[in-house]
Amino acid sequence: MRNDSGIQVLCAEFQTLLAESQVTLTDWNQGRAKIHKSRRRGPDADSELRILQGNFAKAWALLQFHEHDCEICQLISSIHGDHSRTDARLHQSYN
């Protein structure tokens, strides 16, 4: 178990928001790959990509706002001295 696992135990909302961010990021990346592979162009492809990007941006913003406003997340962050925890966890889980 990693040092940052305390978040999983203490803050279920953070875990949920992180999972949603991961799903929307995966959806966006898969959508981009699908459109690229199919060589689709035009307004429909652009619209689909904007929607996928917007979904991720919304999920990411909710996660960032939660982390900033949640006393539990702030406490854990101060204990671990990790101010970029969300970025690192999202990147780590995606790779």
Each residue's pLDDT, cut to its tens digit, for the chain (95 residues) gives 234 444 445 688 998 999 999 999 999 999 999 988 898 888 888 999 999 999 999 999 999 999 888 988 888 778 776 555 555 555 555 54
Find the domain containing 41 and state its range: 11-94
Indicate the pTM of the whole model: 0.69
- What is the chain written as a DSSP string? --GGGHHHHH-HHHHHHHHHHHHHHHHHHHHHHHHHHHT--SHHHHHHHHHHHHHHHHHHHHHHHHHHH-HHHHHHHHHHT-TTHHHHHHHHHH-
Residue 4 belongs to some domain of the structure:
no
The number of folded domains in the chain is 1
Residue 5 belongs to some domain of the structure:
no
Residue 26 belongs to some domain of the structure:
yes
